[in-house]
Amino acid sequence: MGFKTDFSNGVISLLVSLAVTAAAARSEESDEWSTGELLAAVGIASFLSGYLTSYFAK
């Protein structure tokens, strides 16, 4: 697997995580975090998780 596969795994992980988080954030009325901050944190963590898992699974 090369960079292209690792990157696409990171993007897929990013999209799935953002969709689930956005759906959950809409259902709760918490003022601790803004939705943008929450999605940014989840997006960074999920992309790195998917990318690095794919990279090191070789």
Query: What range defines the domain where residue 33 resides?
Result: 3-56
Q: Residue 54: which pLDDT band, with cuts at 50, 70 and 90?
A: confident
Type of residue numbered 22? A
pTM (predicted TM-score): 0.70
Total domains, the chain: 1
Share of the chain above pLDDT 90, in %: 0
- Secondary structure in 3-state letters for 1-33: CCHHHHHHHHHHHHHHHHHHHHHHHHHCCCCCC
Q: Can you give the length of the chain in residues?
A: 58
13 φ, ψ (degrees, to nearest 5): -60, -40
HSE-up of residue 32 (Cα within 13 Å, Cβ side): 4
How confident is the prediction for the chain on average, in pLDDT? Answer: 81
Residue 39 pLDDT > 70: yes
46 vs 40: CA distance, rounded Å: 10
